[in-house]
Amino acid sequence: MKICIPILEDNGMDSKVSEHFGKSPFLAFYDTETSKLEIIRVSGKHGGGQQTMAEILLDSGADILICSNIGPRAMDLLRGRVYVLTGAAGDLKGVLQSFKEKSL
C-alpha cells in the first residue's frame, strides 16, 4: 500500500506535516510493504505548476492520503479514488505510527 502525506520540509521521518494539502511544498510517499520512503518537491498550481496537488497525487498511484486539512475541490477529485484521512499533525514518523496503530 502506498501512503501519501503532504509535508513542509525534506527532513526524512522528522519532516513536519503540512497544514494544507493543496499548498504543501513536498509530498512524502511511504510504501507499507517495503518500508521505503520517497520525498518529492512539488509545484502544484498554487506554486506555479501545471497540475493541482490532487492531480499529482492521482498520478502517483497512492492508495491513501493522510493530511491535516484538504479543500472541497481536491476532496471531490479524490473521492472514490484515494482513501483520505484528515486531522494529521506532527512529524511523519508519528503520523505513520498512528496510522499503523489505527489511531488516526
Instruction: Burial-class residue 4 by CB neighbours within 10 Å (0-12, 13-18, 19+).
Output: buried
90 grid coordinates: 506532527
Tens of pLDDT, residues 60-93: 999 999 999 999 999 999 999 999 999 999 999 9
Q: Which of 102, 100, 103, 69 is nearest to 84 (CA)?
A: 69
Q: What is the CA radius of gyration of the chain?
A: 12
Name the DSSP letter for residue 5.
Answer: E
DSSP 14-44: GPBBPS-GGG-SEEEEEETTT--EEEEE---
Number of structural domains in the chain: 1
pLDDT in the model for residue 15 = 98
Q: What is the CATH number of the domain that holds 60?
A: 3.30.420.130
* pLDDT class of 104 with cuts at 50, 70, 90: confident
The model's confidence at residue 97, banded by pLDDT at 50, 70 and 90, is: very high
